[in-house]
Amino acid sequence: DPAGSGRVVRGEPTVGRPAEFLAASGHIIRAALRQFQIRLSEMDERRLDAAMAGGTASLDGYVLYARAAWEQGLGDKAANERAIALLTKALEADQNFAQARVALGKSLFAANNRWRASGEFRKALQIDPKLADAHKLLGDMLLTSPRRLYDQAVKAYVAALEIWPDYAEARVGLGDAQQARGQFDEAIEEYKKALVIEPTNARVYLGMGKIYYNEKQLYHEAVAAYQQAIALDPKLLDAHLNLGELYEEKGLYDEAVARYNHVLSMEPKHPGAMYGLALAYEKVDVKKSIEQWERYIEVASTLPSEKDWVDIARRHLAKLQRGEKPN
């Protein structure tokens, strides 16, 4: 039901074996897209083929999978939890439903259950080693691991690209992993390849902006890259945040404050933006800086990943309250 909340609407009954119906579902989907005059890109065609190839003969499992996909599209935490429950039931109906395992891994990763997500991606690849999305998502998880598993991430992205050489997001992921390993020129080459495939990929410009500023000290090029990333995807928080940090380091404190506030307008409790805003306010408005440090400490004290930064924030706050200038 496209006008509702993902509920199942019963249509005309179809007579036949479930496996035969599901085998034909790719044709049904394509016919529906043509009806609505929606054109599929080459990558969309491949994803659709992969979804059908990694499918199931269980009609119940397929329906649960479809409902979970709807929930995942909503993008919020509660919908993601519902998707996990639905996909778990789909796999009870057919434990070899590879695409359901990929989808479950994706939702588990979003819920920060990295260990289970990794298990689902690997199980999906045992069922079907040609699932490019599974390799790419596994690469994303390895790249962002606290254990810095960059070499393994590179292998996962390369495996995805061996299946789909024009998989732009895998190219970007490979570039990010190479950047994390200190291979900056190689990373830029991968970003350029990704732009040939998908010129409007905002994450390419985000990655290039990091290298331009942090490694090559090219300020104007970095600003242009971040601004292009924001133009392509105004909700890309990291681009706003990195641009704020760049402005702050260059002494453009009013511009930095504006950028951090923009991030907080989209995500009010973003710890990086709250920290950056407090730091920038130290240079332009001490009273607001004290208020912002207090707000940051209140929010970040509950986050294990922010422990060291909270300690630094407390020292900054104490100095400001004593009328001293923090270092």
**Is 157 contained in some domain?**
no
Question: Is residue 88 within 8 Å of residue 120, measured between CB atoms?
Answer: no
Residue of 284, 219, 210, 218 lying closest to 241 (CA atoms): 210
The pLDDT value recorded for residue 2 is: 46
CATH number of the domain at 61, please.
1.25.40
For residue 200, the model assigns a pLDDT of 93
Residue 21 lies in a domain: yes
Asked whether residue 122 is domain-assigned, the answer is: yes
Identify whether the C-beta of residue 159 lies closer than 8 Å to the C-beta of residue 143.
Answer: no
Quick one: pLDDT at residue 60?
A: 87
pLDDT at 146: 84
Q: Report the CATH number that the domain containing residue 298 is assigned in CATH.
A: 1.25.40.10
Rounded distance between C-alpha atoms, residue 66 and residue 301, angstroms: 39
Q: Is residue 292 part of a domain?
A: yes
Tell me if 311 is assigned to some domain. Answer: yes
Which of the listed residues 126, 144, 169 is the one where a domain comes to its end?
126
For the whole model, what pTM was predicted?
A: 0.81
Answer with the one of 126, 155, 177 that is the final residue of a domain.
126
Q: Computed from CA positions of residues 255, 245, 265, 312, in that sequence, does the dihedral angle turn out positive or negative?
A: negative
Burial string for 187-201 (b: 16+ CB within 10 Å, else e) reads bbebbebbbebbeeb
What is d(CA 63, CA 56) in angstroms, rounded to the nearest whole number?
A: 10
Q: Is residue 79 part of a domain?
A: yes
Tell me, what's the pLDDT at 279? 95
- How many folded domains does the chain comprise? 2
Q: Is 41 left (phi over 0), alpha (psi -120 to 50) or beta?
A: beta
User: Which amino acid would we find at residue 173?
Assistant: G
Q: Residue 50: what pLDDT?
A: 60
User: 27 in a domain, yes or no?
Assistant: yes
Q: Please give the residue range of the domain that contains residue 321.
A: 235-327
What pLDDT was estimated at residue 147? Answer: 86
279 found inside a domain: yes
Domain boundary, last residue among 126, 161, 189: 126
Residue stretches of the chain with pLDDT short of 50:
1-3
